[in-house]
């Protein structure tokens, strides 16, 4: 187990919040959040305080930190890239759904055109949902699932309103903006997933 996972597990087992842990150690809540997400490592002084607060030996924390870092780093980068790709592909499928084409223009039956638009959207949405499996913390998993469901509902709402009102360019801008906010703001701040910088 890696240090960040161990710290998160120990804090949950003690039943304390990030704010309380930060108060006991004498650091900010953001510092604790970064340690638990693996963005930064605590200093040696903070490791000693963490071991004391969580009631374990410093050796246990040091052992966690010496886990296979290379393999974990590669896995995190792969997971991050897969998640990012699913979000981008889903936004692209939503933009395709926005296009106000009629079946007569293509000479195809309506059901075929509908499948052409909806099957890729369903595929990318399922891929997005499957990427939630990388979150091992059950509480964070549930929170991420709710956030992702809300994001998909917002995106679908944008598509429906703009498609039926004939405002496809505005819908394209809305879908793109929502995807960017989801990647750059929502994922790192609320979902404990950093998708846009080196892990």
CA distance 59 to 48: 10
DSSP secondary structure code for residue 94 in this structure: H
DSSP percent split of the chain into helix, strand, coil, nearest 5: 80, 0, 20
Just give the CATH number of 3-65.
1.10.260.40
CA distance 1 to 193: 18
pLDDT digits (tens, 9 = 90+) for 38-79: 888 888 888 888 888 888 877 777 666 554 444 455 577 778
pTM above 0.95, yes or no: no
User: By the 8 A CB rule, do 147 and 87 touch?
Assistant: no
Write down the domain spans for the chain: 3-65, 69-190
pLDDT digits (tens, 9 = 90+) for 107-116: 667 666 677 7
Q: Rounded to a whole number, what is the distance in angstroms from the first to the last CA of the chain? A: 17
State the pLDDT at residue 180: 93
CA distance 54 to 57: 9
DSSP secondary structure code for residue 184 in this structure: I
Q: Which residue has the higher pLDDT, 195 or 19?
A: 19
CA distance 199 to 191: 15
């Amino acid at each position: 187990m890696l240090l960040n996972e161990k710290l998160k597990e120990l804090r949950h087992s003690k039943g304390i919040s990030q704010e309380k842990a930060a108060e006991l150690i004498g650091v900010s809540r953001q510092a604790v959040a970064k340690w638990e997400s693996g963005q930064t490592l605590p200093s040696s002084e903070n490791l000693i305080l963490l071991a004391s607060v969580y009631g374990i030996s410093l050796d246990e924390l040091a052992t966690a930190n010496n886990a296979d870092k290379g393999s974990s780093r590669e896995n995190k980068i792969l997971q991050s890239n897969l998640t990012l790709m699913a979000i981008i592909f889903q936004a692209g499928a939503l933009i395709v759904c926005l296009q106000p084409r009629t079946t007569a223009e293509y000479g195809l039956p309506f059901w075929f055109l509908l499948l052409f638009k909806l099957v890729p959207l369903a595929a990318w949405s399922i891929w997005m949902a499957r990427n939630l499996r990388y979150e091992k913390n059950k509480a964070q998993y549930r929170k991420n699932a709710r956030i992702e469901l809300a994001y998909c509902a917002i995106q679908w709402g944008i598509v429906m309103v703009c498609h039926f009102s004939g405002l496809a360019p505005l819908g394209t801008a809305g879908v793109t903006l929502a995807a960017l906010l989801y990647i750059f703001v929502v994922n790192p701040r609320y979902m404990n997933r950093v998708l846009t910088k080196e892990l």
